[in-house]
Amino acid sequence: MPQQLYNPFSNFNFSNRNCFLTGEALSTSEEKIQVFPQWLMSRFELEDKPFKLLDESMATYKDLKLPCSAVVNENYLEPLESEIANAFEQGYEGVSQLNDVKLFQWAGKLLYGIIFNEIQAGIRQQHAQGEEFSMSHAIIHKFTQLHMMLQSINLSLEFDEFKPFSLALFRVNNADDVFGYRDEINTLTFSLRIKDFGLIICLQDNGTNARYHNEVLEKIAGQPLHPIQFEELNARFFYSAYLFNRLPEYNILPVNDTIYLEAMPLRGMSSKPLFDHWVVKTYGQVLENFWKNWGILLFEIIKNPEEPMSFLFDADGNFVPAESIQLPA
């Protein structure tokens, strides 16, 4: 029997009575998993820390949960969590040995968990106001594609000669016990800075953001980064993900017991560049936010509008070694 993909967006099923991954009915509404896995929350004491949702309401990290069948959790999610947890415990060396599709699945599951909770909060809020919940077609398209790809965790689903994501992993000289997490659900961008590494993933770009930043990535390849350098790279990726103006499309090709996803050309019928124009002031505003820990303000960043402030590169475009940066981690 051919495998069936589940699409919760076809009828907007975000109840706690169905498994988020397969759609199967759950025996109890208590059949749930944590969005931020327990091992991560315990390691960084996150359980009771505040987590702000898009509707401005506050939750805690441990409040964020996903309805999930015990069988799916035991057979597919727990083995994935175990593999990721073991690698993360070893730091950069362990994470760099991981299959990058596993990292994509793990980060995608976490980000989708946040999306699921955001949608539930949105539905509650709209219903309380007597309104129907609605989302833009573009956002539904992105979320649907991400959810489809997450089913590579529990189904035989293969990415046919492409990877749906960009991934950048660097050794970072972090302070002890730092937990630097960021996401942007509209662009499906994820970042995590812990232990001795920093990780950035654009989850739905077919590798385009990595190609966009190829020159930067080549210059800093293999170099350990100061946290302010990693956050600069982070800002570049988060901003370019915002500028990326395509909605990737995929052909779904079931062959025997495997589902193959084939990426369609991003250019499509449009001659328009894949990215909108890079505006230095807007990038500076993003960077100011990412550099908040160091108190660097926008007017300092864009004092020279042609050459915004950088800790990654000097005035000649050469990489600045992390150890030469005299700033706290």
Q: Is the pLDDT of residue 235 over 70?
A: yes
Can you tell me the mean pLDDT for 213-234? 98
CB 209 within 8 A of CB 188: no
Confidence category of residue 77, pLDDT binned at 50, 70, 90: very high
Q: Residue 47's pLDDT is what?
A: 97
Mean pLDDT of the chain: 95
**What are the Cα distances from residue 222, in Å, to 12, 260, 283, 325?**
44, 33, 25, 18
Report d(CA 288, CA 268) in Å as an integer.
Answer: 35
Residue type, 219: K
Q: Residue 130's pLDDT is what?
A: 84
Q: What is the pLDDT of residues 23-68, one digit of tens each?
A: 999 998 889 999 999 999 999 999 999 999 888 889 999 999 999 9
DSSP assignment string, 111-143 = HHHHHHHHHHHHHHHHHHTT------HHHHHHH
Can you tell me the mean pLDDT for 267-277? 86
pTM of the full predicted structure?
A: 0.96
Classify residue 117 by burial, with Cβ atoms within 10 Å: 0-12, 13-18, 19+: buried
- Bridge partners (DSSP) listed for residue 171: 197
Q: Looking at 130-144, 166-180, 198-212, 285-299, which range is the least confident one?
A: 130-144
Q: Is the pLDDT of residue 157 over 70?
A: yes
Q: Is the pLDDT of residue 276 over 80?
A: yes
Q: Is the pLDDT of residue 1 over 70?
A: no
Report d(CA 289, CA 17) in Å as an integer.
Answer: 39
Confidence category of residue 167, pLDDT binned at 50, 70, 90: very high
Q: Is the pLDDT of residue 81 over 80?
A: yes
Report residue 236 as tokens: 């570049």
Confidence category of residue 93, pLDDT binned at 50, 70, 90: very high
**What are the Cα distances from residue 46, in Å, to 37, 60, 63?**
10, 8, 11
Q: Looking at 3-7, 189-193, 216-220, 285-289, which range is the least confident one?
A: 3-7
Of 206, 171, 170, 211, nearest in space to 188 by CA: 206
Taking CA 167 as the corner, what is the angle to CA 162 and CA 173, rounded to the nearest 5 degrees? 160
Q: Residue 2's pLDDT is what?
A: 61
Q: What is the pLDDT of residues 313-324, one digit of tens each?
A: 999 999 999 999
Q: What is the pLDDT of residues 96-153, one digit of tens each?
A: 999 999 999 999 999 999 999 999 999 888 888 888 888 999 999 999 999 999 999 9
Confidence category of residue 269, pLDDT binned at 50, 70, 90: low
> What percentage of the chain exceeds 70 in pLDDT?
99
Q: Residue 169's pLDDT is what?
A: 98
Report d(CA 141, CA 255) in Å as an integer.
Answer: 24
Q: Residue 271's pLDDT is what?
A: 83
Helix axes 100-128, 78-89, angle to 10 degrees: 120
Q: Is the pLDDT of residue 168 over 70?
A: yes
